[in-house]
Structure 1
Amino acid sequence: MLHSKTRWHSPAADPDVVAGLARSLSISPLLSSLLVTRGMTTPDEALLFMEGGADEQHDPFLLQGMAEAVPRIRKALDEGEHILVYGDYDADGVSSTALMIYLLRYLSASFDIYIPHRSNEGYGLHNHALDWALQQGVSLIITVDTGISAYHQIAYANTLGIDIIVTDHHEPPELLPEAFALINPKIPGCPYPFKGLAGVGVALKLAQAMLGPDTPEAWTEIAAIGTVADLMPLVGENRDIVRRGLLSMRESHFPGIRALLNVSGITMSTVSAVNIAFGMAPRINASGRLDHAGRAVTLLTTELAAEAEQLAAELDVLNKERQLVVERIVAEATAQLEATHESGSLPDIIVLADTGWNVGVVGIVASKLLERYYRPVIILDIHPETGMCKGSARSIPGLDIYEALSSCAGLMDHFGGHPAAAGMSLHRDQLVAFAAALNQYAASVLSPEHFIPAAAADAEVSLAELSLQAADELDKLAPFGMANPLPKFIVRGAVIQETRTMGQGSKHLKLVLQQDGCLLETVAFGKGALAELLPVGTVLDVLAELTVNEWNGSRKPQLMLQDLAVPEAQLFDLRGSADAAGKALYLKEMLRPYSGSSPFHAAAVFQSERTAVQSGLKGMSLWVYDNDGGISAIGQEQNAAPEQGISLICLMDMPETPEQLDALFATFSDVTNIALLHSIKEAKERLQIPTRDHFKSLYKSLASMAASAVPEREVLLRLSRQSSMSMRMLSRMLDVFEELDFIERNQGRIVFVSQPAAKSLTASRHFVRLGEVAEMEQYFMESSLSQLHDWMLSRRLGAS
């Protein structure tokens, strides 16, 4: 049994509303239900969502501050003022800066740009940058994707005689800076109807305010990149921006975008929001994480194809370096966490800090630890000389990390961000108090349920419903991203018809699932190790996305596995493994993430004469079969261990009697997984289910060779040479003959009884016993996994 890693839940759509919408729009019930569960219950709402329209676009002058900003920029243009675009180093900040460059080029402005270095300067406006701007003759600064929290810096700029127009989308603080104009849809009282714009979205609105209908449509390509990369909700106006941007990008004339698509392995004609998120955005971000974001800005704004190709290749190399750096820090952070919390009890908010943790990637590290431990995580890099810490936070639903940071604002030099992600800086002397204050806040907000990850599904369906036509129809819901994820479906009771691994190092998993005659391929990236847990015939529940697999002109539906569950107890066939103990430990670690909310415990059972095997079974409860037909724990600690609650039993040796097997089932009545790790006896050494012919043949042989007393060992050797039966089998058959008075045994010698009384073989207790033990051995040694599973199930039911 494998428990799913997440709790699956799917909304229940009103069937009458679904049916009505399907009729009105002539769409399938599946698509109709997806629209309804996403809030589109009327034909007009559904059509606007699927096809877009002017209703998703809003007047830029509805943004508070826009009416003041536009005349100030026009004045700067008329009077030849030097303008500075002050940006940020992430993909949204890079996109915002690039879009503003295109606007100022279009307006023939005199301008320069400034993006702070992530590691050396950190986020936001800095006074030394303002001093530099003054030296360059700057009299107007336009911030993009930053500035809303820069109260003191903007006050300083005012003393220098520099006007600042802030365009930002981050959460505004209580005390707003006294800038010339503040443009942010989240400012209290701002009448702009859509609050979810990215920083580049706000920059685009400024461009539209300046140019009106002359705003180039191609600029939506830049806006789409930043919107998707910054994980903004793809609903409302963001959906319109990204949809238009993708449409333009498929025929992009920007050398930088074309080169970036090419180096990311993305086909221009089919580029999607998912491609931006996982292909383009990481490479843009790599520039600001490991180098300076200016390189990415140059890529997006260059007019030279050769330069674009060179810059795109450099970003690709940086991204590969970034991946290696992330892997190292994740390993170090994990070790630090587990060393400080050996008991396994984790804080509500994980706060980890160390020197040498590249501040450019700590946000990614936080995300990876959040995924592993499912709780808010803050990762900070400590400057070895100054002791200053710069870090990033990632949070789970249920805890607004920006609010959490606000509750201990006095401990930090600076912070800012969103409910799900934030950045901060503080001195290392404040780290202990910082972590304590955050966890005190979390204790008042979070409950145990918040730490159980949930996965939202769109519907529970059959495999037959997930057709190629359905996959094509889902495209009407694109672009997919935050607040409009790619639909996920729950399929229950599918049977695995094929299991195999694929990719370099067998890293990925491919299954063929069957349900009611329908077959569907399912792919799980990075889950190749699960192949051993999912043999053919396993009944499986899956949470998956529906995609189209295109190869050599052929198109077919394919599932992308997100999570899985095996609702029935499982039997893992690892019989004859060369390193049985190593396999047991490996299996234990593989199953642990799929153990559900209960603690995971594993036990190993072996024959009493093989106690040396226990040294290789660290962390497992150890048991031996005993001579009385039962099993018993080894050591005082094992006797104290609960018999219930064992999730995995590893049979290092097979039981020698059915009673031992029954005792095992009686002792571990709730076990959900059994691994067969016993050795396989050679055919010559196995028992055979006894037949009358076996005994008839043996009787004749004994009559000829044991008319007078003969050593039993000699008899067995001669009999084994004459038949295909093992010495073990022949010895047990002699037990039957002795019990029936067909032979006599005396001091290791055998003599044949020439005229015994007629007796039935079935009257022999040894005959019945031999049949039972031989049957069990045959199942454990020779049968298929399904045959052994069914037989063990019948024994288990009998034992219970």
Structure 2
Amino acid sequence: MTPDQIIAQLLSKRKIENVALFLKPPHPLTFSLLSLGFEKELNILFQKLQSCKDKNETVVVYTDYDADGITGGSILWETLHAVGFKVFPYVPHRQSEGYGFSVKGIDAVIEKYHPKLIISVDHGISAREQVKYASDKGISVIITDHHTKPKLLPTSAKAIIHCPLVSGSGLAYITALDIWHHFDAHNETLKQLFTTDFLALASLGTIADLVPLTGYSRSIAKYGLRAFSKATKPGIKELLAVSGLSHMEISTYHAGFALAPRINAVGRLSHAIEAVRMLCTKDAVKAKLLAQEAQAHNTTRQKMVDFAVEEAFIAIEKTAVPKLILQKKENWNEGIIGLISSKITERYQRPSIVMTKTEEGWKGSARSVKGFDITAFLRSLKLLKHIGGHPQAGGFSLTDDQLDEFEKQINLHMKEVPEPKEWELYVDMDISLSCVSEKLVDALQELTPFGIGNPTPVFQSSIKVLFVKSMGKKQEHLKFVGQDPVERTKQLECVYFSPSDEQKKLIKIGSTISIAYTVDSQYWQGKRQLKCFIKVVA
């Protein structure tokens, strides 16, 4: 089977109807809120901004503290600043203010900046009471958000630009594009930034937030990842440097597992406004210092998560594992509870809720499995405050008085949680090992970026094991050579990260096994090497 035939089958199996559009999606520079159906909202935004400009009134970009919010907030703030507005970024403190709008945060914004207009990035759709509070204080609020809509919307907002087709940063990028075109279309500096740095940041936020890479988001991710190599801002360059990615072609893996965690770590362990400063500063020395701080925070974060996750696993396995896992501990850092929840769900293939104590009560973070909307489930309990999120992830807070009732409600509603499923791996195609070639790897690149909604193709082949070696600090990984049973001259190196003991027993020299894997190539000492990255063997 030729590479072209394999690609054709993959596109057919993924039900890609417009192949040409999929392979060459429109460039994000062509996007507008108008094409998303927000003509009325865009006109309101322009009117409010023009009024602020005419009266020299302050605008605040109030953004979320995760990687999606930080990248999106940076794009929108820099754009407004570049076209002449008196504008300031504001990021709530994760521990003292919590997610999104809060009375405490709005009061802080009023005291510091006295704005007439607040534009949210990556939050606000669930902040009905908080938006009314700001409105009652004489502040106009315009919301840009992509999270799941609640039943009661923040009707006090002057405009709601809600679009689940893109991430918070993707929506901020499109909104900023319209602002640039409307207020200063001939600004060549902005044109360059929207083509490079801003687009790279939008792709980073999109991938970090696990948005399906289809439609608008596919365009943003595809062209944005390429834009990293052309980025001029010192903060992006230094972030790449501390991540060990300078002068490399950035992939979705790099964005999601190297760059985004370092941005997130700042908000988890310090104040996320420092991440905005890192991305926006023009001072190379300051950018380097802030990137080094982000790196240090990330190292600390990794150690904290590893310790807390081990604590959680020990507690969970003391009894029968329930369909929905609830873990709480008073001394867990609230900046890492989402990561703990993710690790629990990944290991046990069950929805999980992780909680920690705060000054005002308890804060919780939840993660879910495919097919179970954890945010809708939490909302159905009708006793949580400040709840928001996606079907696969949610966050909330509750008071000490509500804790016992919350745990009772979880147990009462446990019947609504689906039965746990065994881990399933979807295999795209069964091919012979002889089909794996550099030409195939190059052809697969046309389908990138891979991620949610467009996963990396998984192939299945039968091989004979010729050589096996353990590797890693704890010898926890395996490297082995597989041979095509028919075309014996075809041999490829296979890498299996952290296989179980049962899987290791199957990989013996001379044995014939079936492998499910992804394929890629790497350069070593100037030579290109094909590698199979194993998912499972049988």
Alignment TM-score > 0.5, same fold = yes
Q: Say if 2:324 and 2:417, in contact at 8 Å, map to a contact too.
A: no
* Pair 1:550 & 2:523 matched: yes
Residue 543 of structure 1 aligns with an amino acid whose one-letter code is A
2:481 is matched with which residue?
Answer: 512
Q: Say if 1:506 and 1:528, in contact at 8 Å, map to a contact too.
A: no
1:369 is matched with which residue?
Answer: 344
1:302 is matched with which residue?
Answer: 281
Give secondary structure in 1 for the equivalent of 2:265: helix
1:130 is matched with which residue?
Answer: 106
Higher relative contact order (CA 8 A, sep 6+): 2
CA distance 1:504–1:346, shift in 2 (3 Å): closer
Q: Say if 1:404 and 1:438, in contact at 8 Å, map to a contact too.
A: no
Residue 503 of structure 1 aligns with an amino acid whose one-letter code is G
1:350 is matched with which residue?
Answer: 325
Q: How does 1:169-318 map to 2 (within 5 A)?
A: 169-177=146-154, 178-185=156-163, 195-212=164-181, 215=191, 216-218=194-196, 219-318=198-297
1:393 is matched with which residue?
Answer: 366
CA distance 1:528–1:505, shift in 2 (3 Å): farther
Describe the superposition over 1:61-110 as per-residue Cα deviations: whole angstroms up to 9, x where unpaired: 22262221122112212221111111111001111111112112211211
Residue 322 of structure 1 aligns with an amino acid whose one-letter code is R
Q: Say if 1:363 and 1:392, in contact at 8 Å, map to a contact too.
A: yes
Q: Say if 1:118 and 1:360, in contact at 8 Å, map to a contact too.
A: yes
2:429 is matched with which residue?
Answer: 459
Q: Say if 2:28 and 2:220, in contact at 8 Å, map to a contact too.
A: no
Rounded to whole Å, the distance in 2 between the matches of 1:147 and 1:413 is 14
Q: How far has the Cα of 1:441 moved from its partner?
A: 3.6
Q: How far has the Cα of 1:115 moved from its partner?
A: 1.0
Give secondary structure in 1 for the equivalent of 2:135: helix
1:51 is matched with which residue?
Answer: 24
Rounded to whole Å, the distance in 2 between the matches of 1:539 and 1:438 is 47
Describe the superposition over 1:222-252 as per-residue Cα deviations: whole angstroms up to 9, x where unpaired: 1111111111111111111122212221121
2:416 is matched with which residue?
Answer: 444
* Pair 1:32 & 2:1 matched: no
1:359 is matched with which residue?
Answer: 334
TM-score by length of 1: 0.63
Give secondary structure in 1 for the equivalent of 2:474: helix
Rounded to whole Å, the distance in 2 between the matches of 1:369 and 1:563 is 21
**Sequence identity, in percent?**
34
Q: Say if 1:394 and 1:421, in contact at 8 Å, map to a contact too.
A: yes
2:444 is matched with which residue?
Answer: 474
Q: How far has the Cα of 1:445 moved from its partner?
A: 5.0
Rounded to whole Å, the distance in 1 between the matches of 2:110 and 2:472 is 56
Give secondary structure in 2 for the equivalent of 1:409: coil
Give secondary structure in 1 for the equivalent of 2:516: strand
CA distance 1:475–1:56, shift in 2 (3 Å): farther
Give secondary structure in 1 for the equivalent of 2:425: strand
Rounded to whole Å, the distance in 2 between the matches of 1:111 and 1:175 is 30
Rounded to whole Å, the distance in 2 between the matches of 1:266 and 1:513 is 30
2:52 is matched with which residue?
Answer: 76
Residue 89 of structure 1 aligns with an amino acid whose one-letter code is Y
Q: Say if 1:249 and 1:268, in contact at 8 Å, map to a contact too.
A: no
Q: Say if 1:495 and 1:538, in contact at 8 Å, map to a contact too.
A: yes
Residue 100 of structure 2 aligns with an amino acid whose one-letter code is G
* Pair 1:158 & 2:135 matched: yes
1:334 is matched with which residue?
Answer: 313
Q: Say if 2:60 and 2:89, in contact at 8 Å, map to a contact too.
A: yes
Residue 523 of structure 2 aligns with an amino acid whose one-letter code is E
Rounded to whole Å, the distance in 2 between the matches of 1:482 and 1:70 is 34
Rounded to whole Å, the distance in 1 between the matches of 2:62 and 2:12 is 42
Rounded to whole Å, the distance in 2 between the matches of 1:230 and 1:398 is 18
Rounded to whole Å, the distance in 2 between the matches of 1:232 and 1:490 is 27
Q: Say if 2:330 and 2:356, in contact at 8 Å, map to a contact too.
A: yes
Rounded to whole Å, the distance in 1 between the matches of 2:516 and 2:246 is 28
Q: How does 1:104-115 map to 2 (within 5 A)?
A: 104-115=80-91
Q: 2:460 aligns with which of 484, 490, 496?
A: 490
Q: Say if 1:57 and 1:240, in contact at 8 Å, map to a contact too.
A: no
Q: Say if 1:149 and 1:416, in contact at 8 Å, map to a contact too.
A: yes
Q: How far has the Cα of 1:477 moved from its partner?
A: 0.5
Q: Say if 2:476 and 2:498, in contact at 8 Å, map to a contact too.
A: yes
* Pair 1:416 & 2:388 matched: yes
Describe the superposition over 1:193-245 as per-residue Cα deviations: whole angstroms up to 9, x where unpaired: xx421011111121122123665322211111111111111111111112221
Gaps of 5+ in 1: 1-18, 186-194, 566-800
Rounded to whole Å, the distance in 2 between the matches of 1:378 and 1:85 is 31
CA distance 1:267–1:137, shift in 2 (3 Å): closer
CA distance 1:261–1:509, shift in 2 (3 Å): same
Give secondary structure in 2 for the equivalent of 1:211: helix
Q: 2:498 aligns with which of 526, 531, 545?
A: 526
Rounded to whole Å, the distance in 1 between the matches of 2:56 and 2:367 is 44
Rounded to whole Å, the distance in 1 between the matches of 2:150 and 2:342 is 25
Q: Say if 1:508 and 1:528, in contact at 8 Å, map to a contact too.
A: no
Q: Say if 1:348 and 1:439, in contact at 8 Å, map to a contact too.
A: no
Residue 252 of structure 2 aligns with an amino acid whose one-letter code is A
Rounded to whole Å, the distance in 2 between the matches of 1:55 and 1:161 is 35
Give secondary structure in 1 for the equivalent of 2:195: coil
Q: How far has the Cα of 1:58 moved from its partner?
A: 4.3
CA distance 1:474–1:440, shift in 2 (3 Å): farther
Q: 2:470 aligns with which of 494, 501, 512?
A: 501
CA distance 1:531–1:564, shift in 2 (3 Å): closer
Gaps of 5+ in 2: none
Describe the superposition over 1:125-167 as per-residue Cα deviations: whole angstroms up to 9, x where unpaired: 1112222322332111111111111111111111110111111
Q: How far has the Cα of 1:533 moved from its partner?
A: 5.6
Q: How far has the Cα of 1:54 moved from its partner?
A: 5.7
Moved more, 74-83 or 316-325: 74-83
Rounded to whole Å, the distance in 1 between the matches of 2:376 and 2:351 is 13
Give secondary structure in 2 for the equivalent of 1:479: coil
Rounded to whole Å, the distance in 2 between the matches of 1:445 and 1:134 is 43
Q: How far has the Cα of 1:396 moved from its partner?
A: 0.3
Rounded to whole Å, the distance in 2 between the matches of 1:132 and 1:38 is 49
Rounded to whole Å, the distance in 2 between the matches of 1:370 and 1:48 is 35
Q: Say if 2:460 and 2:516, in contact at 8 Å, map to a contact too.
A: yes
Give secondary structure in 1 for the equivalent of 2:450: coil
Describe the superposition over 1:524-562 as per-residue Cα deviations: whole angstroms up to 9, x where unpaired: 223497656632123322221111021112112211112
Q: How far has the Cα of 1:435 moved from its partner?
A: 3.6
Residue 559 of structure 1 aligns with an amino acid whose one-letter code is C
Q: How far has the Cα of 1:390 moved from its partner?
A: 0.7
Q: How far has the Cα of 1:458 moved from its partner?
A: 1.4
Describe the superposition over 1:387-416 as per-residue Cα deviations: whole angstroms up to 9, x where unpaired: x11121110012111111111032x12211
Rounded to whole Å, the distance in 1 between the matches of 2:26 and 2:76 is 25
Describe the superposition over 1:29-60 as per-residue Cα deviations: whole angstroms up to 9, x where unpaired: 1011111122224xxx1121112226995431
